[in-house]
Structure 1
């Protein structure tokens, strides 16, 4: 027990010293995150899409599902944005309507509880202004090492935005396809495939999707970097969040640089028409409905203007 208390005292001393050092000056840090979102592409399009078509879509989406982001942070502010790099022609960013859900730089102000998100949607630039929402974190004594940092586990239940593409999943359409397959096996007669459906299946990726209302989020944070910030919209823990597991998405910190010689200015984004999250979602709904009408009632995921 004496060794245990000695260990706790050492950890508290490190954290206290770190906090003191960071508070003495206008410090800045950079954390690099590797992000990956898994999607069930095996059932994409059901029986209407060939294996070759699925393979092509998988390759095109790879760059959208696996990215590197940089969180530049101070004690109270941060900017989270994708690491700049050249993209290959035909990469996932331009993948129809799905690509339209990819945002730009995200600004967080912990003190003012404000979040600003740059968002381009079908050629129009928006600046989404939102309140930095609290998560009811449940702290755990469970620990693990991430690089040189001792991390502690925390979990929370998070409400999912209705246009959060990272939690999108196939809905009832697959059940209909499975029903057709079952009937074909029982009768011995396979229903002929509609060639028009095969063509449109590639384009209408957004058809028949579902988004859960809530997900469980698991975070790993380190008090060794005493800022209550983290990747994306995540924050509110007594230490920098180094790993997030949220439904189908994983964010893992691969490198931290404290007080870099060349500091970046952390400033609020200002590009685009300023809208609230509710207003932006309304605009998105209207655009999706417009695309459906233009394409005979289908989602029109591949025909962005």
Structure 2
């Protein structure tokens, strides 16, 4: 009996070691996220005119057509909206949905440099807005749930657009569900620095959920955005404030 017990312990240890070795050999991956409106913020629960509610209801039909992709290796990632020929970016509701999901921007992260670059256009000019991953102050929460076949754990962070929370500013709380079994510290947009890949991200309005997860033992090349004027978030906010005042 003792011999059998020892044998089972050895088998369990070997299985665990093999699993950890397999995870550590992963070098890159790709995730596609579906999006939908957060049901907690349904049309009935939001104040506004009848026209506003009708417009929001129509946007709920646009969101499922939008797909976002996260590509990553051990050190870098890039997140962007997938091109969709069915979506006319000039049509008002489609344009509004793209703006609401920040679909016009690309987000690049370099973990070693603790750097986030948001590539975006503003009044016809291209910018690379930079800020630090240290701005993310995650709170880990002792809750878990299954997404697909993966066990995920909950974390929360307060954000003001693409940047850290400042005193007196209105903020959104983002909830992330990350998977420690997928050993990459990335997720949608600038959200990073959790002990596992983010498979679901939500705020009060939108939920992003991984629908396709591809992991590879092959290395890949993440293209760093280079088009645009490199500025800080504070400098970009100054440009926006000046443009608003001039209007």
Q: TM class, shorter-chain normalised? A: 0.7 to 0.9
Note the 1:1-305 alignment, pairs <5 A. 13=17, 16-22=20-26, 27-37=27-37, 43-44=47-48, 46=49, 51=50, 55=54, 59=58, 63=62, 67-86=66-85, 87-88=87-88, 90-92=91-93, 94-95=95-96, 102-154=103-155, 156-161=156-161, 213-259=170-216, 265-291=221-247
**Per-residue CA shift, 1:68-115, capped at 9, x if unaligned?**
11000101100100112112351545449x679654221001111011
Which residue matches 1:299?
none
Aligned pair count reads 228
TM-score (norm 1): 0.62
Q: Matches of 1:135 and 1:99 in 2, distance apart?
A: 21
Are the equivalent residues in 2 in contact too, given 1:244–1:251 (CA < 8 A)?
A: yes
Instruction: Determine which structure has more spread, i.e. the larger CA radius of gyration.
Output: 1
CA-based RMSD of the aligned residues comes to 3.6
Structure 2 residue runs without a partner (length 5+):
1-8
Change in Cα spacing, 1:226 to 1:289, as seen in structure 2 (3 Å) is same
Instruction: Tell me by how many angstroms 1:14 deviates.
Output: 6.4
Are the equivalent residues in 1 in contact too, given 2:179–2:196 (CA < 8 A)?
A: yes
Q: Matches of 1:129 and 1:13 in 2, distance apart?
A: 39
Change in Cα spacing, 1:29 to 1:58, as seen in structure 2 (3 Å) is same
Which residue matches 2:5?
none
TM-score (norm 2): 0.75
Are the equivalent residues in 2 in contact too, given 1:71–1:230 (CA < 8 A)?
A: yes
Larger relative strand fraction: 2
Structure 1 residue runs without a partner (length 5+):
1-5, 165-210, 292-305
Instruction: Tell me by how many angstroms 1:15 deviates.
Output: 5.5
Instruction: Tell me by how many angstroms 1:151 deviates.
Output: 1.3
Higher mean alpha-carbon deviation, 265-274 vs 87-96, is at: 87-96
